[in-house]
Amino acid sequence: MAKFDVDSIKEDFPILKTEKEGKQLVYLDSAATSQKPNQVIDAISDYYRTYNANIHRGIYEIAEKATEAYTDSKKEMADFIGADSYEEIVYVRNTTEAINLVALSWGERNIEEGDHILISEMEHHSNIVPWVLLSKRKKAKLDYIKVGDDYKLDEQSLEEGLEKQPKIVAITHASNVLGTINDVKAITEKAHKQGSVVLVDGAQSAPHMPVNVSDIGCDFYALSGHKMLGPTGIGALYGKSDILNSMPPIIGGGDMIRTVEFYACTWNDIPWKFEAGTSNIEGGIGMRPAISYLKSIGMQNVFEHEVKLTKYAMKSLSEIDNVTVYGPEPDNDCHAGVVSFAIKGVHPHDIASIFDNYNVAIRAGHHCAMPLVTQILNQSAVARMSFYIYNDEKDIDKAVEAINEVKRIFKIK
């Protein structure tokens, strides 16, 4: 794909051709899950039609082809995020499972009573709940980096948290509510000076911007395939090989073992040590064309396109009375393609319902970030538009039309 052409990109996504009451679908909920291009759909269909077999088991042709395709997908993922080797890529179901794997394996072995765990107030539940559970089990102390009035991490709060020498710092790369992009490389450098291990939640960054885990220096990086054009039920945990090698498996069974005796077992090499049972083969196979598609566009191009859309959306919404937008001012390094907003006097669920009448899909709720929305933004819920490679300014214009219709229905000036 030589040029970033949204119209030609849209042609690759069959769902975007669907209509409701003569209105073509406008999909503005990619932070929840992305749509899938024909290349991904065809790859999954081809697997089931022509070489459906289990991996790492059969020595017949289609089984070997399936194994090779699955492994090649990991190699593509490793290259995509800048890992040293595909052996540092553990396939899981999603970001949530990746973070839980770290909490249950690394955390159980390394966190002790009185230790500190540091996360932030802008985290998704997936990067809160596992640490709440671990801190309770281990009688550890869970600390939070505060969110400032500018919707960014408060630097003083970050420094104070790091001074406690947390065993692990678990931080989102980009907020799914605010769109705030955190400088995870700088945070990692500071955390490592305190002896901390660093986990980065990349669910909202890996699909939308260039990511290089080797450059960031983090010890773990978690992402979800379904947010980056891939199938559901597939995600990845990057971990530095020495750390992964030191961690015990948390699920036992086939494929994660080297030897099994009646009273003893030894484990397979990484990453297979953490992938018990039959893998999500179709998910792995579907990830390769998803990654290839994004690489053909160029992740810097993806990011710049979304920054452009975010600026356009925030400017458009700022010109509408009684609409409040949450998130930092968009620029080239601090705001991802997410715009959360509220309309005075209207519940976000009503907003989303009226948007649906226009066949414009947005999200409404606390977005699995209840502490942020209810305690920091002081809202029970907010509406959210999120953008991707198949969106353009015309999609945002339709959202603005829907906002004006909401105001008309609820008689808001």
Helix (H) or strand (E) holding 339: strand 338-343
Q: Are 142 and 135 in contact (CB under 8 A)?
A: yes
Q: What is the 3-state secondary structure (H, E, C) of 23-40?
A: EECEECECCCCCCCCHHH
259, HSE (Cβ side, Cα atoms, 13 Å): 5
Residues 6+ apart with CB under 8 A from 3: none
- Can you give the pLDDT at residue 2? 44
CB 413 within 8 A of CB 326: no
User: Which SS3 state, helix, strand or coil, does residue 260 take?
Assistant: strand
- Which segments of the chain have a pLDDT < 50? 1-2
- Among the listed residues 218, 265, 334, 368, the single catalytic one is 368
Q: Rounded to an integer, what distance in angstroms lies between the CA atom of residue 244 and that of residue 166? A: 20
Please indicate whether residue 265 is annotated as part of the active site.
no
Residue 75 DSSP one-character state: H
Please tell me the total number of residues recorded for the chain in this structure.
413
- DSSP assignment of 351-413: HHHHHHHTTEE-EEE-TT-HIIIIIIS--S-EEEEE--TT--HHHHHHHHHHHHHHHHHTT--
Q: Which domains does the chain have, with CATH numbers?
A: 6-30+298-409 (3.90.1150.10), 42-295 (3.40.640.10)
- 231 contacts 40 by C-beta, under 8 angstroms: yes
Tokens of 151: 């919707």
CA angle 116, 218, 310 (to 5 degrees): 105
Strand, helix or coil at 199?
A: strand
**Which tokens belong to 82?**
């800048």
Q: What is the pLDDT of residue 123?
A: 98
DSSP letter assigned to residue 153: B
Among residues 350, 330, 346, which one has the least CA distance to residue 338?
330
Helices (H) and strands (E) in the chain, counts: 15, 17
Of 219, 156, 150, whose CA–CA distance to 181 is shortest? 150
pTM beyond cutoff 0.95: yes
Dihedral of alpha carbons 329, 330, 335, 336, sign: positive
The whole-number pLDDT of residue 1 equals: 42
Reading the block at residue 65, the tokens are 């082809």
Please classify residue 314 by burial: count the beta carbons closer than 10 Å to its beta carbon, then call 0-12 exposed, 13-18 middle and 19+ buried: buried
